[in-house]
Amino acid sequence: MQTSKQTSKQERKKRKEKKRKEANKQERKKERKEANKQANKQANKQARKKERKKERKKERKEANKQASKQERKKERKKERKKERKKERKQESKQERKKRSKQARKKRSKQARKQESKKAKKKAMKQGRGRPKKHFWVCPFFVHYTYPLLANN
């Protein structure tokens, strides 16, 4: 049989052991908690890094898209400018052609007119043909001035 002294000693030992076990348990719990915290921190860091990378990629893609859009716009503008220049050139060519044609027509018309005038003058000098009547002339005046006209 144990004495009360031994019993109390054993109980103290038991309590001490229990306390130590509890402390170890708490320590492990604390360590696990800390490890989880660190792991979460690292995971969040990685996630943020990944997210930033994704954002940058998206931004680059958008910038490239905008740049290519601007490039196409510039190209189209250049093309339109070239086209307009070509059209203006064509129009001015047509205009020159038209003017030269009109000038030729006018010259030939004037030449014919001149020719006709000369022919009339010649005819008048030779006594054949009669002057053009642009206004009303008194028949009495005609009778004495142009006897040939009076017969008609």
0.85 surpassed by pTM: no
In the prediction, which pLDDT does 40 show? Answer: 97
In the prediction, which pLDDT does 32 show? Answer: 96
Tell me the two tokens of residue 118: 């000369």
Q: Which amino acid is at 99?
A: R
pLDDT tens digit sequence for 41-69: 999 999 999 999 999 999 999 999 999 99
Tell me the two tokens of residue 39: 């792991």
Tell me the two tokens of residue 135: 């206004």
In the prediction, which pLDDT does 148 show? Answer: 59
Residue 139: which of 131, 150, 130 has the closest Cα? Answer: 150
In the prediction, which pLDDT does 136 show? Answer: 65
Tell me the two tokens of residue 121: 């003058």
Q: How many CA atoms lie within 13 A of 111 on its CB side?
A: 6
In the prediction, which pLDDT does 137 show? Answer: 64
| Distance linking the first and last C-alpha atoms of the chain | 184
For residue 34, how far is the Cα from the chain centroid? 59
Q: Which ranges of the chain have pLDDT less than 50?
A: none
Q: Which amino acid is at 16?
A: K
